[in-house]
Structure 1
Amino acid sequence: MTADSTATVRAWQAQSLLLGYPDEALLARLDLLTQVAGTLDHPVGAPLRRFIEHARTTAPGQLTADYVATFDHRKRCCLFLTYYAHGDTRNRGMALLHLKQTYAAAGLALTDDELPDHLSVVLEYAAIVPDHGAGLLAEHRAGLELLRLALHHCSSPWAAVVDSITATLPALAGDELTAVARLAAQGPPEEKVGLSPFSLQGAQR
């Protein structure tokens, strides 16, 4: 593994934590995450340091309320990546099952309340299996960009974390730009069937 890829793995690990629910365990790790961010190139590390400073200076109750308001109540700020590609359709159910099987093969076990397409989980997997994880993130590049734009639109501090993620990935081009424009205009597909045994209800990371 090269120095660059090692730094990317550290970035994905930090980003995974910072996109999780901001509980006491996360707040206790902010000093360590600041150290990690300081080892990363400016486009990746600087946004993380900016968010960490926000988390450090915001009252914990306010931070958790903002997290819920941002990610649970705004459809365009969805952290579940297959939603952008498949919406609530049968195809999404199959994509979730495939992801869970992929993680199990790599030794990543999820709890019952974790969906495998949550961005934090995808980043955690990418840090464990970087080559395949990078491809998985690239596969959802259009959804990530729509999430990034939506977070910036509502002036969310978590936009900085997604800025950091996209800085680890190739720039959007060609069909990906078209996919972002389509998602922004039309939203994900709709067909409210086929998600069993997975459900967004009560899922958290």
Structure 2
Amino acid sequence: MTRSRGHSRGRAPTNAPVVFQAAALLLDYPDRDWPRRPRTVRETVAALPGPEIPLLLSFCARAEREDPLAVAARYVATFDRSRRRCLYLTYYTDGDTRRRGAALARIKSVYRAHGWLPPDDELPDFLPLMLEFAARTSEAGTALLAEHRAAIEVLRYALEAHRSPYAALLQAVCRCLPGQAPASREEALRLARTGPPAEAVGLGVPEPLAARSRPRPHDEGARR
């Protein structure tokens, strides 16, 4: 799998909203509608230009070949059972601290300022939710993702180290973010850790299960 290197972009590519929406669909829990999600993404992006597109297509090709229960089991093992591969971005910057509450409130206020009401049963820093917002509200959403870029890059490095197929989705997202990417995992961790409160715990190794606010209807079956 191709590893994304540190690079600089002045602005997001023109197909960034499509990439963000595709990644939002594919990074969310694979529930009953899963079989049509990778197919829909593949059909939507196949003719688009840009180095991000093959990354999305490679994930879709694999996902379409796999049994949905196997996909669900891998999702749980990848994101819900590892402290290093959490989809809740403020855990990487604020840990399980009082400061995290303020960070979540700020993200929610950005959503509300742009007339976007996310579901009540999900935390606002859930990466698929932030990607969907960026797809629908390009300027503000991309700025919000860029603000949390260090956390996104930490997750990308963790998925690459795990040799996860989900790494391709994070690579595609990171290629669409403006500005300078961290040149290494260590730099990404350092940037994510800048300024957390003294009582912060688990920075870079968050507790994903504590952040789950919605039930996962297929989790029990996926664990079998």
Q: What TM-score do you get using the length of structure 2 for normalisation? A: 0.77
**Counterpart of 1:64?**
72
Distance 1:130 1:184 in 2: 23
Which of 162, 166, 169 is the equivalent residue of 1:158?
166
1:38 aligns with 2:80: no
Matches within 5 A, 1:51-200: 51-170=59-178, 171-172=180-181, 179-182=187-190, 190-191=199-200, 200=211
- Deviation for aligned residue 1:99: 1.2
Gaps of 5+ in 1: 193-198
Q: Are 1:16 and 1:119, in contact at CA under 8 Å, matched by a contact in 2?
A: yes
The answer to whether the 8 A contact 2:31-2:72 is kept is yes
- Distance change >3 Å, CA 184–CA 98, structure 1 → 2: closer
Residues 21 and 204, structure 1, Cα contact 8 Å, conserved in 2: no
Is the Cα contact below 8 Å between 1:142 and 1:177 reproduced in 2?
Answer: no
Aligned residues: 194
Describe the superposition over 1:106-160 as per-residue Cα deviations: whole angstroms up to 9, x where unpaired: 2322223211001101111111211111111111111111101100111111111
Provide the residue aligned with 1:17 in structure 2. 25
- Work out the percentage of aligned pairs sharing the same amino acid: 40
Greater helix content: 1
Q: Please give the root-mean-square deviation of Cα atoms over the aligned residues, in Å.
A: 2.8
Between 1 and 2, higher relative CO (CA 8 Å, sep ≥ 6) is seen in 2
TM-superposed CA distance for 1:29, in Å, is 2.9
Normalising by the residue count of structure 1, what TM-score does the alignment of the two structures yield? 0.83
Q: Distance in 2 between matches of 1:107 and 1:185?
A: 31
Shift of 1:182: 2.5
The question of whether the paired residues in 1 share the 8 Å contact of 2:17 and 2:135 is answered with yes
What are the superposed Cα offsets for residues 7-55 of structure 1, whole Å, 9 maximum, x if unpaired? Answer: 2111111111111001222322322210222133342111111111111
Distance 1:135 1:162, change over 3 A: same
